[in-house]
Structure 1
Amino acid sequence: MLDFRVETFLTVCRTMNFTRAAELLHITQPAVTQHIHTLEKQYGARFFRYQGKQIFLTEAGQLFLQTATTFYQDDQHLRDAIRQLGTRRSIRFGATLTIGEYVMPPVLTGLLKEEPTLRLRMIVENTKELLRLLDNGEIEFAIVEGFFPRQEYESLSYCIQPYIPVCAPSYTFSRPILRLEDLLEERLLIREPGSGTREVLSRALEDHNLTLSDFPLITELGSLNVIKKMVCAGAGIAFFYLPVVQEELEKGQLREISLENCALSHAFNFIWRKNSTFDTYYQDIFRLFQTEETFRTKTTE
């Protein structure tokens, strides 16, 4: 069972404020301070340092945070596993928008056909929010397109997807399009800051010594479907993972923009907390999801 003082430490780390942590834990501030001092004495290191009225993690505190977060997530998983003994199996996970809306539906349908009593809960959020939910034990694992700190999470490559620029079939370009930089004069429709697809595009542009600010005409939208509809209507260009626009490409509602110097792709990663006691469980779930993904891919070829 997780030491209650570790939970106090994690709450302080989330708030970086002893008073706020005490309020959330419904205990006194001196009790919070005592819990932290007990842990520091037990491990022989200071976990926090003060700079004025602000507190910051020490190097030892950062190391303890990584390990304690995994302890906490494992504790939540263990509690769930014990509650499920003799009952229906449950899987709680998160996925980023592209994966959740365009990759997971047939995979989850296949899982439910194989195991009709399976309880599934998928939360669709951006990578940053999914990492928070994972650290808090609210989900067991996540499948993400965005970037994450690999020193804190184990990962397996779920699949690699082409990342392509598209436009309407009748779209007229300002100039002949041969290279990535030839697109700079077009209106670019993109997701909001913080989204995985936007971050992937930003890094791809950096590889060509470009940035998003080099596009003078940018429209930010929080919905992939809205972006698709606007691109289909000729409002501009956009970059999508292939599964997102596969149907529109096949129906002739969109066309891929061919570029000589730009063949982009990106991995979708299956992640969980590093050094988890339940590594084998997550690897088994990964193989289960991969089996359905492989079967789905073969039946659609």
Structure 2
Amino acid sequence: MIDYRIPTFLTLYELMNYRRTAEQLKLSQPAVTQQIHALERDYGCRLFTYDGSRLYRTPEAEKLAQYARVAVYNDQRMRQELAAPKILTLRLGATKTIGEFIIGEDLCRFLKRPDRTLEIVVENTRELLHRLEQEELDFALVEGSFDKSRYGYRRFQSAPFVGLCHCDHPFAGKKVTGEALADQSVILREAGSGTRAIFEKSLQESGYSLDKIGRIICVNNFALIVRMVSENLGISFAYSAVAAGHPELTTFRLEGLSEQREFNFVYLKGTQAGQLIDEIFPNSSCGQRSKERGRL
């Protein structure tokens, strides 16, 4: 059972406004204040402070939120399993590259069991991590960087991250510098996506920036990106799996861009997410459990 004040605390932690918290929870504002003060007395610390009229979280609130999210997640998972023990529902998030090109076979194999079902969200890395912290996902499969001190994680696999272009493009099969992008149309995913973050970071580390690129086209759909590159309307940067089955496409290398990138399972620390991961991806645990990070 979760202390009834914990959801109030987590809502205030997210909204950082007593009035909006009260409205969302359909409570009076004094009731919200009383619950927060009661938690502060129980834990012997301040959770929120004011500087003038602005509300701030304390370090103790950060720590409590971390534990509270795990407690709420575990409570939800327990209730689900007790209420419907014959059907196992897993809530999986995946970035677009992984969801669209990497894990289809694994998901289909899992769903061949009639006592298994899935809720799948395909989104960018930033949104998936947010949903994870809102206890909306059991785990997420992400590409690119994330705060490894904040989450539990397990490596899934590595994949080559490359430049994509039409076979007739001057870059085809070559290694180019960031300077060569100055007169190119580069088709990128939206801000917040793992592939874009990887590209931007590599560009910055090489002493270049997006404003040095001739033209940037922003598209949040890989099928459309592939279509545009296939029409030789620009180049892009993605995992090589994106180009599979498109003979008119080839790859090139960008100087300073690491070719191998990790895909990781990410989950809240202190949960049993590792067991749920094994339900869909049994081979991912081979040689990994001794290396699994982030356990409390």
Task: State if a TM-score over 0.5 links the two structures.
Answer: yes
Deviates more, 1:63-72 or 1:26-35: 63-72
The answer as to whether partners of 1:111 and 1:292 remain within 8 angstroms in 2 is: no
Distance 1:88 1:288 in 2: 13
- Name the CA shift for 1:102/1:13 in 2 (closer, same or farther; >3 Å): same
Q: Which residue of 2 aligns with 1:41?
A: 41
Which AA in structure 2 matches 1:267? E
Which whole-Å deviations, capped at 9, do the CAs of 1:98-144 have from their partners, x for residues lacking one?
1111112111112223x233111111112222222222222211111
- The equivalent residue for 2:103 is 104
- What's the offset of the Cα at 1:159? 1.1
Q: Structure 1 CA distance, aligned partners of 2:21 and 2:265?
A: 32
Say which SS state the counterpart of residue 199 (structure 1) adopts: helix
Counterparts of 2:144 and 2:256, CA distance in 1: 23
Deviates more, 1:1-10 or 1:129-138: 129-138
Structure 1 residue 289: Cα displacement = 3.4
Q: Do 2:87 and 2:116's aligned partners in 1 also have CA atoms closer than 8 Å? A: yes
1:283 has 2:281 as partner: no
Change (3 A) 1:16 1:171: same
Per-residue deviation at 1:150? 2.0
CA drift of 1:259 comes to 4.9
Q: Is the 8 A contact 1:73 1:134 kept in 2?
A: no
- What is the CA-CA distance between 1:164 and the residue it aligns to? 0.6
Which of residues 246, 265, 271 in structure 1 aligns to 2:260? 265
Q: Which residue of 2 aligns with 1:94?
A: 93
CA-based RMSD of the aligned residues comes to 2.0
What is the aligned partner in structure 2 of residue 298 from structure 1?
A: none
Equivalent in the alignment of 1:297: none
Residue matched to 1:168: 166
8 Å Cα contact 2:181-2:212 kept in structure 1 = no
Task: Determine if contact 2:175/2:255 at 8 Å carries over to the other structure.
Answer: no
Alignment partners' CA distance in 2, 1:24 and 1:152: 27
State whether residues 167 and 232 of structure 1, in contact with CA within 8 Å, keep that contact through their aligned partners in structure 2.
yes
How far does residue 293 in structure 1 lie from its aligned partner after superposition?
Answer: 7.3
Q: What code does the residue aligned with 2:177 have?
A: R
**Is the alpha carbon distance of 1:293 and 1:65 closer, same or farther for their aligned partners in structure 2, counting shifts above 3 Å?**
closer
Q: Given the superposition, is the C-alpha separation of residues 16 and 41 from structure 1 closer, same or farther in structure 2, using an over 3 Å criterion?
A: same
Look up the SS of the partner of 1:201 in the other structure.
helix
Distance apart, 1:14 and its partner CA: 1.3
1:10 aligns with 2:1: no
**Correspondence for 1:227 among 225, 228, 246:** 225
Q: Corresponding residue for 2:290?
A: none
**How far did residue 200 of structure 1 move?**
1.1
TM normalised by structure 2 equals 0.89
- Whole-Å separation in 1 of the counterparts to 2:214 and 2:70: 44
Which of 269, 272, 276 matches 1:274?
269
CA distance in 2 between counterparts of 1:202 and 1:41 reads 46
- 2:65 alignment partner in structure 1: 65
Shift of 1:18: 0.6
Q: Which has the higher helix share?
A: 1
1:219 and 1:169 map into 2 onto residues whose CA distance is 20
Alignment identity in percent?
Answer: 33
Pairwise CA distance, 1:292: 6.0
2: CA distance, partners of 1:283 / 1:274: 10
Amino acid at match of 1:34: Q
Alpha-carbon distance in 1 for matches of 2:17, 2:255: 53
What is the alpha-carbon distance in structure 1 between the residues aligned to residue 227 and residue 257 of structure 2? 24
Q: 1:253 aligns with which of 235, 248, 264?
A: 248
Q: Residues 83 and 230 (structure 1 numbering): CA distance in 2 closer, same or farther, change over 3 Å? A: same
Cα–Cα, structure 1 residues 260 and 199, in superposed 2: closer, same or farther, change >3 Å? closer
The CA deviation at 1:78 is 1.6
**Helix, strand or coil at the partner of 1:275:** coil
Shift of 1:95: 0.9
Task: State which of 242, 245, 254 in structure 2 corresponds to 1:244.
Answer: 242
> Structure 1 regions of 5+ residues with no counterpart?
295-301
Whether the 8 Å contact between 1:179 and 1:262 is mirrored in structure 2 is no
CA contact (8 A) 1:110 1:292 kept: no
Partner of 1:156: 154
Where in structure 2 are the equivalents of 1:129-144 lying within 5 Å? 129-144=127-142
Greater shift after overlay, 139-148 or 14-23?
139-148
- Count of aligned pairs between the two proteins: 283
Change (3 A) 1:156 1:177: closer
Q: Which runs of 5+ in 2 are unaligned?
A: 286-296
If the length of structure 1 is used for normalisation, what is the TM-score?
A: 0.88
How far residue 216 of structure 1 moved from its aligned partner, in angstroms, is 2.7
Deviations 1:187-209 (A, max 9, x none): 11101111111011111222322
